[in-house]
Chains A and B, each alone.
Chain A
Amino acid sequence: MANKLQQKYPEIIEGVLARYPSKKSAILPLMHLAQEEYGHMSQQAMADVAEIVAVSPTHVLSLAGFYTLFYEEPVGKYVLEVCVDLACALRGADEFVEMASRKLGIGPDETTEDGLFTLKKVMCLAACDKAPMLQCNLKYVENLDEEKFDALIEQLRAEAATGEEQEKPVDNILSFAKE
C-alpha cells in the first residue's frame, strides 16, 4: 500500500518521530499532518499514520473520535470555529453564531455548497476577553461583530479565488525544535 504521507514528507516525519522515545507519541502531530494533507481524517489518512507509528488503524480511529480537532467528515477550505462557551456567550457569541449561520446559509457542522466554509460551535478557546471570536483554520480572529465577520468572509473568498496559500498554523508544529 502506497503511503502518501511517508512519501511526501519523509523528513518532517523523521523529525517528529525523533522528538520522542516512543513512536506512538508522534501520533497526534502526525494526525494533524495527515489531516492537512487529506483534508479530513479519511480512511487512507488514518491508515498512513497507523503504518508510520506502527499501531492498528483502529487506534487511530479511536483518537479521531476522541479529539475534537480531527474531522471525520470532509470539511470546507476554511473551518470557522466559533466559541459559544459561557464567557463568550455573555458577550454575544450565541447571537454571533446565529448571524454567521444565516449569512453563510448553513447550520453548525455544515459546509457551504461551494466547499469554502464549514461552521462549528466549539468550547472555550482561551480568548474570552475578546469575544465574540472564532478560529479560522486555527488562527485567532477576535473582537468580532457583523461588519468584521462580513469583511473576513469577503477576504477569504478573495483569497480562495486567487488560489493564494496562507501560512498554515500546522507548519509551526512540524518545524522541529532541534535542527
Chain B
Amino acid sequence: MAHILLRHRDIEDLHKLDVYLENGGYEGFRQCLQEHEPGEVIDIIKKANIRGRGGAGFPAGIKWGFIPKDSARTYIVINADESETGTFKDRELLEGNPHQVLEGALIAAYAVGAHAIYCYFRGEFMDAAANFEQALKDAYAQNWLGEDIQGSGFSCDAYSSYGAGAYICGEETALLASLQGDLGQPWSKPPFPAQAGLYGEPTVVNNVETLANVPPVIVNGPEWYLAMGTEDSPGVKVVCLSGHVNRPGNYEVEFGITYRELIFGEEYGGGIRDGKEFKALLPSGGSGPVVVADALDAPLSFDGLKPYDSLMGSASMIVMDEDTDMVWAAMKMIHFFRHESCGKCTPCREGTYWLEQVIVDVLEGRGTEKDIKLLEDVASNMQGKCLCALGEFATSPILSTIRHFPEEYLAHVRAGERPEGTEIEEVARATAPA
C-alpha cells in the first residue's frame, strides 16, 4: 500500500515544493480556501476523528472547535519537540515530507482563523529541520504563505522556533512558556491553550504527525479515513520500533494491527534479534507501563492496551529480549525522567529523585526488600499529584516492572549478599520460592 504520511518513501524529493505540488500537494488547503467555510473544515476533521498523535489521542477537530470565533489574534503551534524515549517519527516526517505538515497546519489556521503558525523544534533538530526551513521559504515564494494566499483573501505567516534540550517542552503549556522565552515549565490548566495560550491568545497546539493526517482527509473525505483502522482509532499511525528487533525503524500501519505482527512480522520488526525470546515491551516509549507476552495480540489503538493496564501513547515500541534486566531497564527510564523533570512541582521533582536513588541501590545490590516497597510507595504517592503528565509517566516503568517482574527485584536485593562472581540469575534460582 502506498504511504499516506511517509509518502517520501514512495516519491523521491517530496520535500521539494515543486515535487510536492506535482503529487497533489496543497490540494487539501486549496479546497478549503475555495470550497469550504472554516466551520465546515472543523466538521470534516471532527467527523474523521483524527486523534492526537503526540500520545494523548485527543480529537484534533474538537481541539480546533474550542477556539473562540471572535478572537483577533489566534495561533497554531506545531509541536516538533519530539523527545520521548523511543520516538523518532516526527523527525522523519519533518525531514521527508515537510510540506504535508505545513499544509496541515495551514488548514488548521484557516479552520480556526489563525494569523500565524509557529513550529517549535527541539534544539537538537537544528540540522534535521533544514528541509522544513526550506519548505517555509519556498511556500512564501509561491504564496502558499503570507498575504492573500492564492488570491483567497486569507493571510497567514509561519515561523520556526527552537528549544534547547528539554523533554518537558513537549508538554503543550511548557512549550508555550518556552516559546515566550521562559523556563519550559508547564502551567496549571485551566486556562487551556485554546482560551489563553501563546501570548495569552487562543492557541491550537498539534503534534507533527497529527497535522500530516489533515491534508489527505480533506482531499479524500472523512469516510475514506474512517474506513481504515478501528472504530475508536481510525486512520493510519506511524509506529517507531526500537530495541531488540531485527528491523528497527518507522512503519506506517493501519490501526488495528496486532503488536505481535509489528514485532514479528517480516514486513515489520522481523522478530527478536539473535534468535532470542521476547520478554517485554514498552509500548509508549518511557511513558507507559511495560507489557509482557500476553498483551501481544492486542490491537494497536489508543485503547487497545487498556485490558493490560497500559496504553499506546505515541506508539514508540521499545522491545526487550529474554536477557534484559528489567530493574536496569526501569532504572534507565527513571534516570531519564529525573533528568527531565522541570522542578516546578514537588511530587515530580522529589519523587523522581528518590526513585532513582532507591532503584540504583537495588540494582547495585545495596537494597533490601523494604526498598522495593519504598519504590512502590514513592511512585504511588506521586500519582495524581503532579502538575503535568511527566511525573505521572515517571511512575509507570517502576510500578509495571515490579508488578510483572517481582522476582528480578528480589534477585537484585538478595544478590547484595552474594559471593563475588556469582551471577544474579544463579542467586535468583537459588533463592526462588519452591
Residues of A within 8 A of B (CB): 19-22, 24-29, 31-32, 53, 55, 62-63, 66-70, 85-87, 89-91, 122-131, 135, 138-140, 169-170, 172-173, 175, 177-179
Contacts and interface: CB of A to CB of B under 8 A. Distances in A.
A177 B133 contact: yes
Interface stretch (B80-88, B230-238, B352-360): B80-88
B164 A172 contact: no
Interface residues on B, range: 35 or more
A25 B184 CA distance: 12
A31 B164 CA distance: 9
Interface stretch (B55-63, B239-247, B256-264, B369-377): B239-247
19 contacts: A24-B182, A31-B164, A32-B123, A63-B181, A63-B183, A66-B184, A85-B85, A86-B333, A87-B285, A87-B318, A123-B340, A124-B336, A126-B124, A128-B88, A169-B127, A172-B127, A172-B130, A175-B133, A178-B159
A25 B122 CA distance: 15
A73 B425 CA distance: 43
A67 B166 contact: yes
B159 A29 contact: no
A129 B250 contact: yes
B83 A126 contact: yes
A26 B183 CA distance: 13
Contact of B320 (A67, A90, A124): A90
Given A140-B128, A178-B157, A22 B181 contact: yes
A138 B179 CA distance: 20
B365 interface: no
Given A69-B123, A70-B164, A138-B124, A177 B158 contact: yes
B128 A86 contact: no
A85 B337 CA distance: 11
Contacts of A135: 124
A139 B127 contact: yes
A86 B180 CA distance: 32
Nearest to B273: A91
Interface in B199-251: 199, 240-244, 248-250
Contacts of B124: 69, 125-126, 135, 138
Interface string B257-301: 000000000000000000000000010011000000000000000
Given A128-B248, A169-B126, A172-B133, A67 B164 contact: yes
B16 interface: no
Interface in B21-55: none
